[in-house]
Amino acid sequence: MALVSFFEAFLALFCFLFLHCLRKSDGPPRSFPIIGMLPELLLNIHRIHDWCTEVLERCHCTVLFKGPWFANMNIVGTCDPANIHHIMSSNFANFPKGSEFKQMFDVLGDGIFNSDMDLWKNQRTVAQGFMRNHRFRDFLSTTSRYKVEEGLIPVMDHFAKRGLVVDLEDVFQRFTLDATCILVTGHDPRSLSVEFPEVPFSKALDDAEEAIFYRHARPQWFIKLQRWLNMGQERKYRKAWQVLDDVIAEYICQKRKDLNRGSTSEIFEEGADLLTSYITEEKSTGLECDDKFLRDTVLNMMLAGRDTTSSALTWFIWLVSCHPTVENKIIEELRSKIPGKETEKRRLFKADEVKDLVYLHGALCEALRLYPPVPFQHKEPLESDVLPSGHPVHPNMKILFSLYSMARMKSIWGEDCFEFKPERWINEKGGIKHVPSYKFLSFNAGPRTCLGKEVAFVQMKSVASAIVYNYRVHVSDETPIVPAVSIILHTKDGLMAKISSRWD
């Protein structure tokens, strides 16, 4: 008995001393022989974004993270705008996504997010042409309004009338899944309904994203071992991959059948969705649009459209619900677009009515700043270089941008950087203030600036205006709203809230 007590006391003392050794009030994490800085990373993996912020604050926005020996985990982490401008713009050619990025995100295949050089340029040029076409823009406006009227509003009314708690993050993911699927494939999965049907495609995307996140924090040998044994995150990843392949193959097969029959889209004008454009205009694009290419293209666009916009809407609605002054200003700005006699009743807004609203735009940008949907980015140098911060980088080293940390740096955004402040985005003349993309990186920067920026803002403004103007959102105090561990900045436990109608 005494021996057991002694052992327990010794173990407790050892753990205390070990944890004490890890604690550092300044500078980078403590580095140990052989294992490098991995212990502190693993201890903080559950709060990875806030931990990165603390480390980068101590290290003046850039830090060299040393991984275990022979694990190829040496990483330069940065949120310094000068470094980001150098990598994303002024020396763009030296910093592609790289082979390791493609290996880590291999489920995306040769799609636009994974590709580099000429393959990326060709895909970007074609996608940009399709998305700038007036037919696609009209289709975007029609789709967004259709899903708000036929999907979002019935669900919101259902929960408001019954006084039930609803996970708004789930609602937004279903909205963006349906809207994006229509835009990309012409098919409406109808996942946004009061029945909340199971959606295997969404579950598969979530599982794949989680597995990819953990790949960033584990040595390659461990990932390969899990894959070989078909266990853990890699087992989940493999199953998710199969589901994604099966669903997308069905969409492509059905689209080819519809086009061969000369039939129109289920709901909208023929040829407006992107999959139709890729198939029917293959010769003019110069791309080989076989099933593999179409699969990769559809998955890349579905991932971007579903996850980033739904994440932005989740954090936006939560922030607005916590800031009544901001909420009232958005409502007053929306009222300015309505004839006086109609201001005291329910109203849905067309895309043209809300596209130029300054305060709403500023509030959305502020939510994107504080909670960027993609909280970090990954680069690899082709040749050795020295960053503006003075940190040398070489081809065997990864570079990670922390967008989440950047928003919380006083040296970048000022003493009020933690505040939700839409006025930050409004200039002295009352218009939208220009902020350089390497400082506000939510839509990327340089040649890889996001092609879907306009799509995202149309969808976000359609949903945001409908909810803020017509409903009150009462977020539950029982569920803390904190970021999940994922490559997409979801909430850990959803956005649980009760809804009430503003006009009843």
pTM of the model: 0.88
Please tell me what DSSP assigns to residue 94. G
Q: What is the pLDDT of residue 24?
A: 53
Residue 385's beta-bridge partner residues?
393
pLDDT class for 20, splitting at 50, 70, 90?
very low
Higher-confidence residue of 55 and 232: namely 55
Q: Which residues contact 81 (CB under 8 A, 6 or more apart)?
A: 406, 412, 436, 438, 439
Q: Which residues contact 136 (CB under 8 A, 6 or more apart)?
A: 130, 183, 272, 274, 277
Q: What is the pLDDT of residue 215?
A: 84
Higher-confidence residue of 354 and 266: namely 354
pLDDT class for 217, splitting at 50, 70, 90?
confident
What average pLDDT score do residues 454-475 get? Answer: 95
Burial (CB count within 10 angstroms: exposed 0-12, middle 13-18, buried 19+), residue 150: middle
What average pLDDT score do residues 127-139 get? Answer: 90
Q: How far apart are CA 453 and CA 115, in angstroms?
A: 20
Q: How far apart are CA 114 and CA 394, in angstroms?
A: 21
| Structure tokens given for 215 | 């790949």
What average pLDDT score do residues 456-483 get? Answer: 93
Q: Which residues contact 239 (CB under 8 A, 6 or more apart)?
A: 204, 207
Q: What is the pLDDT of residue 28?
A: 84
What average pLDDT score do residues 165-184 get? Answer: 95
Place of tokens 């200003």: 329
Q: What is the pLDDT of residue 23?
A: 52
Given a cut of 50, whether residue 19 has pLDDT beyond it is no
CB 373 within 8 Å of CB 308: yes
Given a cut of 70, whether residue 264 has pLDDT beyond it is no
- The domains located in the chain, with CATH, are 29-501 (1.10.630.10)
Given a cut of 50, whether residue 11 has pLDDT beyond it is no
Please tell me what DSSP assigns to residue 416. T
Q: What is the pLDDT of residue 194?
A: 92
| Structure tokens given for 208 | 């794949």
Q: What is the pLDDT of residue 25?
A: 57
Q: How far apart are CA 194 and CA 432, in angstroms?
A: 37
What's the sign of the alpha-carbon dihedral 407, 410, 416, 421?
A: negative
Residue 401's SS3 state is strand
- CA angle at residue 397 from 394 to 403, to 5 degrees? 115
Alpha helical stretches, state H, 281-436: 282-285, 291-303, 309-322, 324-335, 351-354, 358-370, 403-406, 410-413
pLDDT class for 235, splitting at 50, 70, 90?
very high
- 191: nearest Cα among 315, 201, 183: 201
Given a cut of 60, whether residue 18 has pLDDT beyond it is no
Q: Which of 24-28, 126-130, 313-317 has the lowest mean pLDDT?
A: 24-28
Max mean pLDDT range (9-13, 113-117, 437-441) = 437-441
pLDDT class for 265, splitting at 50, 70, 90?
very low
Alpha helical stretches, state H, 64-167: 81-85, 99-104, 117-132, 134-147, 153-162
Backbone dihedral region of 265: left (phi > 0), alpha (psi from -120 to 50 degrees) or beta? beta
Q: How far apart are CA 251 and CA 181, in angstroms?
A: 10
Place of tokens 């006083």: 410
Torsion angle, alpha carbons of 315, 316, 320, 323, to 10: 60
- 124: nearest Cα among 454, 451, 366, 433: 451
| pLDDT tens digits, one per residue of 60-92 | 999 999 888 877 778 999 999 999 999 999 999
CB 200 within 8 Å of CB 247: yes
| Structure tokens given for 253 | 């097969």
What's the sign of the alpha-carbon dihedral 225, 228, 234, 235?
A: negative
| Structure tokens given for 480 | 């803390």
pLDDT class for 34, splitting at 50, 70, 90?
confident
Burial (CB count within 10 angstroms: exposed 0-12, middle 13-18, buried 19+), residue 224: exposed
Average pLDDT, the chain: 88
Angle in degrees, 0-180, between the axes of helices 168-185 and 453-470, rounded to the nearest 10: 140
What average pLDDT score do residues 189-207 get? Answer: 92
What average pLDDT score do residues 44-64 get? Answer: 94
H or E element at residue 210: helix 200-216
pLDDT class for 343, splitting at 50, 70, 90?
low
H or E element at residue 215: helix 200-216
Given a cut of 90, whether residue 22 has pLDDT beyond it is no
Backbone dihedral region of 30: left (phi > 0), alpha (psi from -120 to 50 degrees) or beta? beta
pLDDT class for 10, splitting at 50, 70, 90?
very low
pLDDT class for 14, splitting at 50, 70, 90?
very low
CB 388 within 8 Å of CB 382: no
Alpha helical stretches, state H, 323-452: 324-335, 351-354, 358-370, 403-406, 410-413
Given a cut of 70, whether residue 7 has pLDDT beyond it is no
CB 214 within 8 Å of CB 237: no
Q: How far apart are CA 34 and CA 123, in angstroms?
A: 43
pLDDT class for 462, splitting at 50, 70, 90?
very high
| Structure tokens given for 199 | 């959606």
What average pLDDT score do residues 94-119 get? Answer: 86
What average pLDDT score do residues 298-316 get? Answer: 93
